Chains A and B, each alone.
Chain A
């Protein structure tokens, strides 16, 4: 079984500061993928970034980077230079990369509020 833990229910951050959203995971699989999604107040889930368990480098996508520490089983999302539009719910998720397993397991989310 897989489990994702997001320990920060809510965060308030000043605009233009960097933000780190915590995510720890538990799995018995050797090959797995980690995802971050953003959910604005409109409700739609937006894919942000992906990290494979065998990827040697941390993933980056524009202002988003994933701080992947395999030994600690953590996959924190870092948002640089936060903007007002970053205010949203953020979900960490994972799935096994074994053949035929397409299920995503989600954490409970972190509500991020950017303060002007």
Chain B
């Protein structure tokens, strides 16, 4: 089975802190994604990566950056956390190609105070 793991289920940080969210997948997937999920808004794509060291902005990249130094690991970075970044963050991965679904991690609920 595909396994996508995220470093924390719950995280509490202070405004202005630098925050790292880590995601690891074990199925050699080319693509990895970071979403945030907010009530009434569904999932919105922050960034994705289709190869090591490659990244593309999603729909809401402002205030975030990403890093993919190894194929299995994709990190989301909040350079200076703000209260409006309090949310559920979901990581996903997939094979490249037409038919393939994305596999999701359990999510990290981040609270910025």
Contacts and interface: CB of A to CB of B under 8 A. Distances in A.
Interface of A: 4, 9, 31, 33, 35, 37, 42-47, 50, 52, 91, 93, 97, 100, 102-109
A107 B106 contact: no
B107 A91 contact: no
A45 B50 CA distance: 21
Nearest to B49: A102
Interface string B28-59: 00010101000011111100101000000010
B101 A108 contact: no
Contacts, number: 56
B54 to A, nearest CB: 11
Contact of B98 (A44, A93, A97, A107): A97
Interface in B58-113: 58, 88, 90, 92, 94, 96, 98-99, 101-107, 109
Contacts of B101: 35, 47, 50
B94 A108 contact: no
Contact of A102 (B40, B48, B109): B48
Given A45-B92, A103-B48, A108 B106 contact: no
A43 B80 CA distance: 26
Interface residues of B, number: 27
Contacts of A4: 42
Given A44-B104, A102-B33, A102-B48, 17 more contacts: A42-B106, A43-B106, A44-B106, A46-B104, A47-B102, A52-B98, A91-B42, A100-B50, A102-B31, A102-B94, A104-B33, A105-B45, A106-B42, A106-B44, A107-B42, A108-B42, A109-B42
